[in-house]
Copies of this chain bind each other. A is one copy, B any other.
């Protein structure tokens, strides 16, 4: 079984390392050569390749727009399993099923990452115990799905969650995408720029993921416009309630708002 991972960033290279650790032979594909050399010298891949030609399984660990291009025009072996790792799914299914393709598509989204990117942040344990979302629809090939889920388990993922692309995109808008917007927007306050000595864990956590790769995330956001717009407007509307309570000096209302948030937290913190 020949597995090719295309795109050796933090996720792609961590897929390579995890698959290697699980005993598989792994081939790496990347536009620039430096990550390939790094992956070879760190035992993350067995060999660098230029094409997907004879691969049985291909992981596309590429930016969203490039993933779309590859799913549309990439040359794969007939019946190959092609899995992407993008943070949006509906737009990819549209591309995959808009016309006949000779490969079997499975969408995946490893719910793991770091605030840093690139192959130097990759590791064989990045996915240990993490959630893996796998998107399915009527056209999904059951054998391909089972194969990808098996690899997910072998790579160390904890819970594997199967859902539709639409469900994925709606949930991810709040569990990941909006969090990156908020972190990014939060620290732009003038007073944050000169905060040495005035921060604790809450500021660090709030802004940990603020340093987003703007190219990738703006693509993800626009590919998931509707759910993300709903969630962004929802949060703004909720923040305005706290704002009003403050402006009115209304302690009772503030306490009530905070209590609601605490009770919600008690529910969702048990679900990861």
Contacts and interface: CB of A to CB of B under 8 A. Distances in A.
Interface of A: 111-113, 130-131, 133, 159, 161, 168, 170-176, 178-189, 191-212, 214-215, 217-219, 221-222, 225, 228-229, 231-236, 238-243, 246-247, 249, 251, 254-262, 264-269, 271-272
Contact of A200 (B113, B188, B202, B211): B113
**Chain A, interface SS category:** helix
Contacts of A243: 229, 232-233, 236
B203 A176 contact: yes
A261 B202 contact: no
A134 to B, nearest CB: 10
A207 B179 CA distance: 9
Q: What is the count of identical protomers in the complex?
A: 2
A189 B174 CA distance: 8
A177 to B, nearest CB: 9
A195 B171 contact: yes
Contact of A186 (B113, B182, B272): B182
Given A195-B268, A207-B268, 16 more contacts: A111-B200, A133-B198, A172-B198, A174-B203, A175-B199, A181-B242, A184-B257, A184-B258, A186-B235, A188-B260, A192-B264, A205-B205, A205-B206, A210-B265, A214-B256, A225-B249
